[in-house]
Amino acid sequence: MGRQPCCDKAGMRRGAWTAEEDQKLINFIINNGIHCWRLVPKLAGTYRTSADGLMRCGKSCRLRWTNYLRPDLKREAISQEEESRIIQLHSRLGNR
């Protein structure tokens, strides 16, 4: 018995994301928001190719958005002020 699979693995893409897939995901989330990550791949196709959607599982879409595509992600190196703040908090709180 066991857990039901999150998606049908047949036909799913694996590996690096293409710019087209990134754009489909970004457009869908900006226009519709996030309700259920399991449904995002099915609904994220363009209107002309809505049957195609994204050939990824919901977890892949969630991780791609969370770790790479979110507009509020900070990608540059930490500043000197941020580094001193981290050191100060670590000395006060320790390894929690």
CA 18 vs. chain centroid, Å, equals 14
CA distance 44 to 67: 18
Answer whether residue 64 shows pLDDT above 50: yes
Mean pLDDT of 55-84: 92
Give the tens place of pLDDT for each residue, 43-53. Answer: 886 444 445 67
- Domain coordinates in residue numbering, the chain: 19-93
Q: Which residues of 54-67 are buried (b: 16+ CB within 10 A; e: fewer)?
A: bebbbebbbebbee
- Given this structure, which CATH class describes domain 19-93? mainly alpha
Q: What is the pLDDT of residue 47?
A: 44
Q: What is the pLDDT of residue 86?
A: 95
